[in-house]
Amino acid sequence: MSPDAILLGDLGLNAAFLAVVFGAAVIITIVAAGLLIWSTKHPEEGDSHALAKYEKHWVVIILAIFVIFALSTISFLPYPYAHANVHPNLTIDVTGQQFAWTLCDAPYWANASTSLTNPSCFPNSNVTYIPIPVGDTVLFNVTSHDVTHGFGIYQCTDVGCTTAAILDQVQVMPGFYNSILVTFKTAGTYYIRCLEFCGYGHYTMFTQLNVTVTST
Amino acid sequence: MATVEEVPGNVIPGEPIQNPNEPSGALTPFAKKWIRRLLYLSFLNFIIAGTLALFLRTDQAGNPNIIGPLGTPAVFGQLLLAHGLGMFIGWQFPFAYALTLYAFPKYMGRKIYAEKLIPVVFFLFAIGFYLVWLSAFMGFGPGWYFLTPLWNPAAWSAGATWTATDALIFFGGMMITNASLIVFAYVLFKTAFSSSYKDKYNSSPGMLSTMSARFAAAIGFDAYMPSAVRDRIQGYPIAAIAAVVTTLDMVISAPPFLVLLADGAWVSAGNPAFLNNLVAKNFLWINYHPIVYFAFFPLIGMYYTLIPIFANRKFASSRWAKVPWPMLLISGVGVYSHHLFMDTSQPFSLQIMSESMTMLVSFASGISVFTLFALIWRSHYKWTLTAKFLAASILGWIVGGVIGVEQGNIPTDVYEHNTYAVVSHFHFMGLDGIILAAFGVLYWILPEISGKQWYSKTLGEIHLWGTAIGGFGLAGTFAILGFMGVPRREYAPIQAALPFTQIYYDPLIAALFFALFTAVAQLPFIWNLLKTMQSPTTTKSNMLPELETTVPTPLPTPITRELTPAFSHASMTSNQAAENINLSGTLYTDHGDVNSFTNQAESSLRDSQ
């Protein structure tokens, strides 16, 4: 069973939403700065330091903002162990290596050296042909053969893929397996890019992942 | 001489922020000389590191159809290291050293303990840091945060572009740099806590003088104590509290980082590693996050010191000025795991701890900003050059803090981690927050510690507006790139095989433009500084303490110090000084003298333009 929402992005609260929040905060800050400058042009006569008496109110307000922010997002931790009730439809193992990705169907992922030669794997390829039915939740287990990498999944947001947004990401570290759960809600092209500097070829480290409309 | 409590001026009631009891000569000519050298070294490194950043921008903005990238992918990695560490260590360490070594004698009235060690700090730092830059020049390029095992050529499957020797030089340099930090911390803590000082912090009738009381005062923890206890603790100036807090964070986080450096050197010498990759990553960030605060905390201390002077107002409550500091002490280190939010193998307890700590540091920042905001609100605020720099830097602090909060929350960090949103965060904080504040403080204190007037205030204004426009434009453009999902640290973000990367072009060009704008804005600063250094000494630096015995506060040095001859410290007797001060109309007694002195100087400055 696939859950409705694992990540905030499943609710539409992705980078675009965060950009709006940030933009609003910037506008409020600029307005507040303008008011502050204006206030110094109109100093109070008695120097009563009027605003200071609201310090306690302000403390309560910002404390409430941070607590509410943290608590309201806690259900969307991007860690598979935080979603024990979610059972992935598919498991894909991923190995990063300078400067390419290898994706394999499970259960071959347990032996990374085997996976590179396994027919279910797509080593160092620019396109990965693992069929992922729309709506499936996939568990990605990632590791590295050499240095640290970052595994970032980008989702095209239009037909020609002239824009794309981060769907999910996880760090890739040799000697460790990191995991993420991703639900692919729409068919189309996805891209996997390296999100951690891994050497001179870092910027060339990507592959394409196609999600298809198939019956499960 | 009035006591602190009797002074209605710019002090927290009962707090010696302006230190009317500074003993003559606490800020010695020897200390001033080395503080000056540390400042010159820091801003030299700033200019070099900033220039290197221009090549990062040209690489990324290079379009194959126009000019093409100017560098190579391997050099790009070297630039990442040289620019990043050039700013975080090359600029920041000597600046933080200088500012904290200035703050103690200035605002606490204590001569620096074992000040003969300051040159040791200087040379250890210079040798260590330039070895780091040398390693980058030789080819070492894993970026300023050198993740294990990327720095190790033996770990590469693609063939590394540097050698183990380069890595060894790097780790050696970093260890020597940290040795300078340890010597500095010894000097600073002895100055803050030594019982050898016979002053009110160690022996005031009826006051607690135990080490625990002094430590509580030195981190601002007395603000949390009941009044019966708090009233018996001699409060430390905020500038001193800031210095102690930031140095404590650096020292607490140093041991694991030194183990990491030792591991790096050990492996580079051909031995097996003794840290696994995850522990190594923890040991890196547990130190690398407090590094970010090393200069920032003392600069916040300067906000609390200088803004009351500009506002001609005291804080409504000394407690609110101190409340943030214990929080900042704890969270300064405790936030570190937010750099590992995307490592699912990191223990969950550490992740939650760091998310909470990130909220705590934001909360503490929010309190500070409001306290300062309330102080300025409807005050007779003097918009001096330094005041403008500080105001702009607080804007950078707020805006950078907001985007930082998004990255400090695990579920929202998914969409910003390792993208340009992170670069935006630390450029808002670093360039628009810390650097702008540092420039403001430099304009303020250099005349005092050099005995030279700034060559031109106009050049200072050009520097301010150019840096602010360029800096905010640059960080703002990075934010746009971040929300577009552009990964950080890519040599060529635009790839023909990735159709969605084509729209990166315009913001990358905009980033290059703002970077160049910022760079050009440093030219008037460089010229102004060079001309100032070449100018004759117009203010005998060692005359200040003498003057302060009559005007019993450390003089807040007015920007550019374009004093009329009557205000020249060297040519003015104490009585003349007092007479001239009175001519301007005394705003307050005692502290008012200083303010009127400052204000008269500012008026003189304005009249001259």
Q: Rounded CA gap, B44 and B63, in Å?
A: 31
pLDDT of B245 over the 90 cut: yes
Rounded to 5 degrees, what angle do the CA atoms B237, B104, B357 make? 60
Q: Which residue of B has its CA nearest to A52?
A: B374
Query: Are B254 and B287 spatial neighbours (Cβ–Cβ below 8 Å)?
Result: yes
Q: Rounded CA gap, B271 and B147, in Å?
A: 18
Q: Is A90 on the interface with B (CB under 8 A)?
A: no
A148 and B391 within 8 Å at the Cβ level: the answer is: no
Continuous segment of H or E residues that includes residue B115: none
| Residues in Cβ contact with A60 at an 8 Å cutoff, skipping those fewer than 6 apart | none
> A-chain residues within 8 Å CB-CB of B356?
70
Rounded to 5 degrees, what angle do the CA atoms B190, B192, B195 make? 65
Do residue A86 and residue A191 come from a single domain?
A: yes
Model confidence pLDDT, tens digit, residues A125-167: 777 778 888 889 999 999 999 999 999 999 999 988 999 999 9
> CB-CB: which of A19, A77, A178 is closest to B411?
A77
Q: Is B59 on the interface with A (CB under 8 A)?
A: no
Do residue A36 and residue A94 come from a single domain?
A: no
Q: Rounded CA gap, A187 and A213, in Å?
A: 6
Model confidence pLDDT, tens digit, residues B146-168: 999 999 999 999 999 999 999 99
> CB-CB: which of A36, A191, A197 is closest to B498?
A191
Residue A143 counted as domain residue: yes
Q: Tokens 């499970």 map to which residue? A: A106
pLDDT of B576 over the 60 cut: no
A58 and B367 within 8 Å at the Cβ level: the answer is: yes
Residue A71 counted as domain residue: yes
The pLDDT of residue B121 is 98
Q: Is A78 on the interface with B (CB under 8 A)?
A: yes
B409 and A73 within 8 Å at the Cβ level: the answer is: yes
Q: Which residue of A has its CA nearest to B361?
A: A66
* Residue B511 backbone dihedrals phi, psi, to 5 degrees: -65, -40
How many contacts (CB atoms, under 8 Å) link A and B? Answer: 268
Q: Tokens 């409807």 map to which residue? A: B378
Q: How many CA atoms lie within 13 A of B223 on its CB side?
A: 22
Do residue A197 and residue A95 come from a single domain?
A: yes
Do residue A65 and residue A101 come from a single domain?
A: no
Residue A2 counted as domain residue: no
Do residue A119 and residue A198 come from a single domain?
A: yes
pLDDT bin (cut points 50, 70, 90) of residue A106 is: low
> B-chain residues within 8 Å CB-CB of A84?
none
- Strands of the A178-183 sheet, one edge to the other: A121-122, A100-105, A90-97, A137-144, A178-183
Q: What is the CATH number of the domain that holds A139?
A: 2.60.40.420
> CB-CB: which of A53, A78, A203 is closest to B414?
A78
The pLDDT of residue B68 is 58
pLDDT bin (cut points 50, 70, 90) of residue B239 is: very high
Do residue A39 and residue A91 come from a single domain?
A: no
Q: Judged by CB atoms within 8 Å, which residues 351-380 of B form the interface with A?
A: 351, 355-356, 359, 362-363, 366-367, 370-371, 373-380
The pLDDT of residue A163 is 95
pLDDT of B593 over the 90 cut: no
Q: Is B582 on the interface with A (CB under 8 A)?
A: no
Q: Is A180 on the interface with B (CB under 8 A)?
A: yes
pLDDT bin (cut points 50, 70, 90) of residue B188 is: very high
pLDDT bin (cut points 50, 70, 90) of residue B69 is: low
pLDDT of B552 over the 50 cut: no
A52 and B379 within 8 Å at the Cβ level: the answer is: no
CA-nearest of A104, A69, A101 to B413 is: A69
Mean pLDDT of B185-210: 92
3-state SS, residue B378: coil
Residue A173 counted as domain residue: yes
Residue A3 counted as domain residue: no
B491 and A42 within 8 Å at the Cβ level: the answer is: no
A58 and B485 within 8 Å at the Cβ level: the answer is: no
Buried b (16+ CB within 10 A) or exposed e, A95-115: bbbbbbbbbbbeebbeebeeb
A19, A45, A78: which is the final residue of a domain?
A78
Query: What is the residue-wise DSSP string for A154-170?
Result: EEE-STT-S-EEEEEEE
The pLDDT of residue B560 is 37
How far from chain centre, in Å, is Cα B9?
27
Q: Is A116 on the interface with B (CB under 8 A)?
A: no
Residue A40 counted as domain residue: yes
Q: Judged by CB atoms within 8 Å, which residues 127-146 of B form the interface with A?
A: 141-143
Identify the domain containing residue A41 by its residue range.
8-78
Do residue A101 and residue A196 come from a single domain?
A: yes
B377 and A200 within 8 Å at the Cβ level: the answer is: no
A180 and B344 within 8 Å at the Cβ level: the answer is: yes
Where do the structural domains in chain B lie, given as residue ranges? Answer: 1-22+542-609, 26-299, 385-540
> B-chain residues within 8 Å CB-CB of A177?
345
A78, A112, A136: which is the final residue of a domain?
A78
Residue A21 counted as domain residue: yes
Q: Rounded CA gap, B387 and A54, in Å?
A: 24
Do residue A124 and residue A36 come from a single domain?
A: no
A78, A106, A126: which is the final residue of a domain?
A78
Do residue A201 and residue A107 come from a single domain?
A: yes
| Residues in Cβ contact with B414 at an 8 Å cutoff, skipping those fewer than 6 apart | A7, A8, A9, A78, A166, A168, A169, B342
Do residue A105 and residue A151 come from a single domain?
A: yes
pLDDT bin (cut points 50, 70, 90) of residue B291 is: very high
Q: Which residue of B has its CA nearest to A27?
A: B399
Model confidence pLDDT, tens digit, residues B273-283: 999 999 999 99
Name the CATH superfamily housing domain B26-299: Cytochrome c oxidase-like, subunit I domain (1.20.210.10)
Number of domains chain A contains:
2
Q: Is B496 on the interface with A (CB under 8 A)?
A: no
CA-nearest of B422, B299, B407, B433 to B355 is: B407
Percent of chain B scoring above 70 in pLDDT: 83
Do residue A178 and residue A127 come from a single domain?
A: yes
